[in-house]
């Protein structure tokens, strides 16, 4: 099958409908801008299931996403979008690069969520950027940026509650947005929401259950992803 785009963890294929593409979740995992690599059997399947469940939950709550319909074990049909090359990171608890940047201990709760912007550019190593840089690079208008920031905070509020009810702590996560074809006017949530792109800890014990298990060589990567899946699918079945 012809590939439209291949990233580190996903592939896109054309469909008969020019406004829709097939998004495949790969078993490949990378960290540190691709410097560390591994393949985990079943990761694509679990991440697709988790993204699907979270997209369906968010859509029900009024968040517009590029999701169209499920396809098979590792693929879903999504609307064709032009991805805005900004990674929006929302944080509820200090962890990862924030801990290094501002010197607060990992695990410290934030009194209100922090939103950060990273320029999606592998050659530059995805640097953090400020709204003035977004303007200088013409990535989004002030109005678009404000609307996307508000949407990212809404998604955070919804997902934090959803994970909490499933016995999990949403520490932080990364989301991406895209301009929907054909007119590129609507901006919608795109890409994936999975343990690859979120930090998720056990609510009681703070045990790490996300991709940090791979980044930090903690072992039991897929077992932890599976535990997240079991908790959230069990919770979703009751709501
Ligand atoms: P960070 O603490 O390393 O900046 O990561 C913040 C969040 O963003 C964390 O949930 C992991 C996610 N993330 C990605 O999804 N892709 C990336 O390339 C990076 C660096 C982080
Ligand atoms: N996915 C990113 C990469 O490989 C980094 C990460 O998630 O830590 O560069």
Q: Smallest Cα–Cα separation from 49: which of 238, 225, 239, 235?
A: 225
Q: Smallest Cα–Cα separation from 200: which of 190, 189, 188, 208?
A: 208
Q: Residue 239 has what pLDDT? A: 78
Beta carbons within 8 Å of 156's beta carbon, 6+ residues apart:
90, 92, 113, 170, 173
CB distance 232 to 50 below 8 Å: yes
In the chain the domains, ranked by start, together with CATH numbers, are 5-81 (3.30.200.20), 83-220 (3.30.470.20)
- The number of the ligand nearest the C-alpha atom of 92 reads 1
Q: Residue 144 has what pLDDT? A: 98
2 pLDDT higher than 90: yes
Mean pLDDT along residues 112-138: 98
Mean pLDDT along residues 230-236: 95
CA separation for the pair 55, 50 (Å, rounded): 8
What's the whole-model pTM score? 0.98
Q: Residue 130 has what pLDDT? A: 98
Q: Residue 201 has what pLDDT? A: 99
Separation of CA 18 and ligand 1 centre (Å): 31
CA separation for the pair 208, 217 (Å, rounded): 12
Mean pLDDT along residues 205-227: 98
Q: How confident is the model at residue 1 (pLDDT cuts 50, 70, 90)?
A: confident
Mean pLDDT along residues 108-119: 98
Of all residues in the chain, the percent with pLDDT exceeding 70 is 100
In ligand 2, which atom is closest to the CA atom of 196?
7
Ligand 2 pocket residue status of 31, Cβ below 6 Å? yes
238 pLDDT higher than 90: no
Q: How many C-beta atoms surround the C-beta of residue 156 within 10 A?
A: 20
Q: Smallest Cα–Cα separation from 113: which of 50, 195, 170, 55?
A: 170
Which residue from 96, 110, 121 has its CB within 8 A of the most atoms of ligand 1, so it is best to mutate?
A: 96
- The number of the ligand nearest the C-alpha atom of 93 reads 1
Q: Residue 6 has what pLDDT? A: 97
pLDDT tens per residue across span 161-215: 999 999 999 999 999 999 999 999 999 999 999 999 999 999 999 999 999 999 9
pLDDT tens per residue across span 133-167: 999 999 999 999 999 999 999 999 999 999 999 99
């Amino acid at each position: 099958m012809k590939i439209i785009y291949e990233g580190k963890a996903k592939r896109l294929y054309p469909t008969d409908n020019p406004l829709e593409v097939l998004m495949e979740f790969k078993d490949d995992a990378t960290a540190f801008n691709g410097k560390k690599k591994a393949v985990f059997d079943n990761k694509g399947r679990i991440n697709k299931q988790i993204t699907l469940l979270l997209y369906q939950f968010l859509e029900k709550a009024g968040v517009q996403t590029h999701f169209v319909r499920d396809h098979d074990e590792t693929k879903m049909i999504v609307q064709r979008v032009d991805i805005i090359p900004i990674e929006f990171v929302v944080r509820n608890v200090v962890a990862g690069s924030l801990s290094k940047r501002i010197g607060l201990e990992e695990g410290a709760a934030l009194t209100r969520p922090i939103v950060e912007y990273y320029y999606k550019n592998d050659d530059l190593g995805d640097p953090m950027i400020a709204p003035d840089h977004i303007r200088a690079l013409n990535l989004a208008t002030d109005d678009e940026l404000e609307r996307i920031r508000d949407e990212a905070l809404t998604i955070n509020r919804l997902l934090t509650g959803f994970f909490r009810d499933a016995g999990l702590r949403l520490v932080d996560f990364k989301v991406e947005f895209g301009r929907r074809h054909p007119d590129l006017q609507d901006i919608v949530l795109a890409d994936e929401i999975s343990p690859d792109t979120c930090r998720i800890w056990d609510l009681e014990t703070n045990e790490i259950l996300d991709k940090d298990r791979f980044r930090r060589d903690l072992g039991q990567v897929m077992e932890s992803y599976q535990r997240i899946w079991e908790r959230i699918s069990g919770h979703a079945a009751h709501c």
